[in-house]
């Protein structure tokens, strides 16, 4: 699936995703393309006790 979006200032981005892996351990691989200027810097902090910190795993993962 692919979709194009335009920001409030006219920047255009294209987003898509695909499935990867075997049936029992499938993953979703997102792709985002476009051009942008760096306006900020961020830092991700993951809680070591958060069961969803690395996503939602399949039943047989």
Nearest 5°: the CA angle 25, 55, 5 is: 105
Residue 42 domain-assigned (yes or no): no
**What's the token pair of residue 2?**
């692919």
Residue 4 domain-assigned (yes or no): yes
**Mode of pairing for the β-strands spanning 2-6 and 12-20:** antiparallel
Name which of 10-14, 20-24, 39-43 the model is least confident about: 20-24
Residue 60 domain-assigned (yes or no): yes
Question: Helix H segments across 1-61?
Answer: none
Q: Report the C-alpha gap between 11 and 32 in whole angstroms.
A: 13
Q: Report the C-alpha gap between 46 and 10 in whole angstroms.
A: 33
Structural domain total, the chain? 1
Residue 14 domain-assigned (yes or no): yes
Predicted confidence (pLDDT) per residue in 23-54, tens digit = 656 788 889 888 877 788 889 899 999 988 88
Instruction: Name the band, by pLDDT with cuts 50, 70 and 90, for residue 58.
Output: low
Structural domain boundaries enclosing 1: 1-36+50-61
């Amino acid at each position: 699936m692919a979709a194009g979006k335009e920001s409030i200032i006219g920047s255009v981005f294209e987003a898509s995703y695909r499935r990867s892996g075997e049936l029992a351990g499938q993953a979703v691989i997102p792709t985002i393309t476009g051009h942008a200027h760096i306006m900020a810097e961020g830092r991700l902090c993951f809680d070591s006790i958060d069961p969803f910190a690395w996503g939602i795993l399949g039943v047989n993962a």
